[in-house]
Amino acid sequence: MNRRRPDGIDPVARSRARRRALQAVYAWQLSGTGVREVIAQFAHEQAKEPADLEYFEDLVRGVDQHQEDLDHALGPFLDRDVEQVDPVERAALRIAAYELRHRPDVPYRVVINEAIEGVKRFGAEHGHTYVNGVLDHAAADWRAVEVQSARRR
């Protein structure tokens, strides 16, 4: 069965890429290991469960390259310093912030939903509600036209 959309994107493979990116960014945050090593560690999963490897690498490298900007941009929407946010939630927020700010080809609702699902799977029991609130406010600010258009429908 072909899951690809007309634009060639396989949503299941992309979802897996986000899930792996969440795990990789989490590991990178805690270990301090370089991004290259973290990407290599998670690439071996490709044989077991294919993901959009290019997208996975874009997310992990994007968070690494833009971490300072992402953390600064998230600041107004957080109730504490970004370093005090639970590590799984912080990884999800950084990935989603990267997508919202640098991947306009991905609808904001997809970004938020994927972040919530990742935190539900790997994070604390109610962590997804925190992530949802932060990203909802961030998307309304960073992608105001898209959010307003969606809310009018």
| Three-state helix/strand/coil letters over 57-89 | HHHHHHHHHHHHHHHHHHHHHCCCCHHHCCHHH
Q: What is the pLDDT of residue 98?
A: 98
Rounded to whole angstroms, the Cα distance separating 53 from 49 reads 11
Q: Residue 110 — pLDDT band, cuts 50, 70, 90?
A: very high
Q: Residue 1 — pLDDT band, cuts 50, 70, 90?
A: very low
Q: Residue 97 — pLDDT band, cuts 50, 70, 90?
A: very high
Mean pLDDT score of the chain: 91
Kindly report the pTM of this predicted structure.
0.92
CA angle (105 as vertex; 135, 3 as ends), nearest 5: 100
Domains observed in the chain: 11-152 (1.10.940.10)
Tell me the mean pLDDT in the region 105-134. 96
**pLDDT above 70 covers what percent of the chain?**
93
Q: What is the pLDDT of residue 3?
A: 64
Count of Cβ atoms closer than 10 Å to residue 55 Cβ = 22
Rounded to whole angstroms, the Cα distance separating 40 from 9 reads 23
pLDDT in tens, 33-75: 888 998 888 877 666 677 888 999 999 999 999 999 999 999 9
Q: What is the pLDDT of residue 51?
A: 80
Task: Please list the alpha-helical segments (H only) found in the chain.
Answer: 11-31, 35-43, 53-74, 87-102, 108-122, 127-142, 144-152
Rounded to whole angstroms, the Cα distance separating 87 from 19 reads 15
Rounded to whole angstroms, the Cα distance separating 96 from 63 reads 9
Residues sharing a CB contact under 8 Å with residue 25, sequence separation 6 or more, in sequence order: 38, 59, 60, 63, 91, 94, 95
Q: What is the pLDDT of residue 134?
A: 98
